[in-house]
């Protein structure tokens, strides 16, 4: 398969190097287009008011891989690859392997998930891959699973276009409990802005936060509520696969809002 790989941790991140090299090792045509520096938590932002530059990078990846370092965001990287760098579209877009999990509401901020989502916007099946640790540099389990998942999608293509958000526990392969299809959990953060003063006497603020336990969505009465959340399953050392889409319409509430009869606002 022809696979486009990106990330939000930057060109020098060990996660993307492990993923790209691992996919090339099993015979895939791999193209890397990723930020030239870390762009974590940039969400789906795009660069509109300054030029985007991309330079070919050698020696970081396997010789079989063509790689570009891009000055833009993760979403910029995928968009630029699809419309500016590649002669033909890839069969698959992969983002990662992220240094740290992307669970629950994290996906709203994640550059990794947004890079993969850009593939979905352009009708290309996509996968976001994240390792459940910010400090671990052991990516072998995640790479092995990525290889297996890509092989599965090659032999059994998805019936519907979707983004697979995959989180892999940062444990030894023998400690992995299995693989679970999960629903998106809800994570809350206690956000704290530390007020500081720079050497010139100017005040600035530094965002720090503490994650709380996942919170159940009590409004969800559909059948999917019986599935574990990605957060629950990861806590139990399962690899999690959560299908995502970019359509954020709250479908179950369309009928409720129609009862408002808001078209009568002039009365």
pLDDT greater than 90 at residue 17: yes
pLDDT at 222 over 70: no
Distance of alpha carbon 70 from alpha carbon 209, whole angstroms: 29
Q: Is residue 33 domain-resident?
A: yes
CATH of residue 75's domain is 3.40.1210.10
So what's the pLDDT on residue 264? 65
DSSP lists the bridge partners of residue 105 as none
String of DSSP letters for 74-135: HHHHHHHIIIII-SS--SEEEEEEEES---GGGGGT-HHHHHHHHHHHTT--EEEEEES-SS
Domain that holds residue 91: 2-183+221-254
Beta-carbon contacts of residue 156 (< 8 Å; ≥ 6 apart): none
Q: Which pLDDT does position 56 carry in this prediction?
A: 97
State the average pLDDT over residues 236-252.
Answer: 95
Does 82 fall in a domain? yes
In a domain, 106, yes or no: yes
Domain count along the chain: 1
Residues 36, 54: Cα–Cα separation, whole Å: 9
Q: What is the pLDDT of residue 187?
A: 81
How do strand 203-211 and strand 189-197 relate by DSSP bridges? antiparallel
The per-residue pLDDT of the chain, averaged, comes to 92
- pLDDT tens digits for range 124-146: 999 999 999 999 999 999 999 99
Predicted local distance difference test score (pLDDT) of residue 252: 87
More confident of the two residues 72 and 251: 72
- CB-CB contact of 159 with 36 (8 Å): no
Residue 95 in domain: yes
pTM here is 0.91
Question: Looking at the predicted structure, is the pLDDT value of residue 224 above 70?
Answer: no
87 close to 218: Cβ distance less than 8 angstroms: no
Residue 107 maps to a domain = yes
Q: Is residue 267 part of a domain?
A: no
Percent of the chain with pLDDT over 90: 80
Q: What is the pLDDT of residue 256?
A: 87
Determine whether 173 is exposed, middle or buried from the number of CB atoms within 10 Å of its CB (0-12, 13-18, 19+): exposed
In this model, does residue 266 exceed pLDDT 70? no
Enumerate residues 6+ apart whose C-beta is below 8 A from 138. 170
- Residue 123 clears pLDDT 90, i.e. is over it: yes
Strand pairing partners for 192? 208
58 within 8 A of 37, measured Cβ to Cβ: no
pLDDT of residue 213: 60
Task: Give domain status of residue 262, yes or no.
Answer: no
The angle subtended at Cα 78 by Cα 72 and Cα 79, nearest 5°, is 85
pLDDT at residue 257, rounded to an integer: 86
- pLDDT at residue 212, as a whole number: 66
List, for residues 39-59, the tens digit of each pLDDT value.
999 999 999 999 999 999 999
Q: Categorize the per-residue pLDDT at 165 as very low, low, confident or very high, splitting at 50, 70 and 90.
A: very high
Note whether residue 22 is domain-resident: yes
In the prediction, which pLDDT does 225 show? 67
Task: Assess contact for 83 and 93: CB atoms under 8 A.
Answer: no
């Amino acid at each position: 398969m022809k696979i486009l790989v990106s990330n939000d941790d930057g060109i020098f991140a060990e996660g993307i190097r492990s993923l790209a090299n691992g996919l090339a090792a099993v015979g895939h045509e791999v193209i890397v287009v990723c930020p030239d520096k870390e762009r974590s938590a940039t969400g789906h932002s795009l660069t509109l008011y300054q030029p985007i530059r991309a330079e070919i990078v050698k020696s970081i990846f396997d010789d079989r891989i063509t790689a570009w370092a891009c000055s833009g965001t993760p979403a910029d990287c995928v968009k630029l690859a699809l419309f500016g760098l590649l002669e033909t579209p890839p069969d698959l877009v992969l983002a990662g392997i992220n240094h740290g999990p992307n669970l629950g509401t994290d996906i709203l901020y994640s550059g990794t998930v947004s890079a993969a989502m850009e593939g979905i916007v352009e009708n290309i099946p996509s996968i976001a891959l994240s390792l459940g640790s910010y400090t671990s540099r052991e990516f072998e389990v995640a790479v092995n699973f990525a290889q297996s998942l890509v092989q599965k999608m090659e032999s059994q293509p998805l019936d519907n276009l979707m983004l697979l958000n995959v989180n892999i526990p940062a444990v030894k392969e023998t400690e992995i409990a299995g693989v679970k299809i999960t629903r998106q959990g809800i994570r809350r953060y206690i956000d704290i802005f530390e007020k500081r003063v720079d050497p010139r006497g100017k005040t600035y603020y530094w965002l720090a936060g503490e994650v709380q336990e996942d919170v159940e969505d009590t409004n969800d009465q559909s059948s999917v509520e019986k599935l574990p959340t990605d957060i629950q399953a990861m806590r139990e050392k399962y690899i999690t696969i959560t299908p995502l889409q970019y359509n954020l319409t709250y479908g179950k509430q369309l009928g409720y809002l129609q009862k408002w009869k808001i078209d009568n606002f002039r009365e």
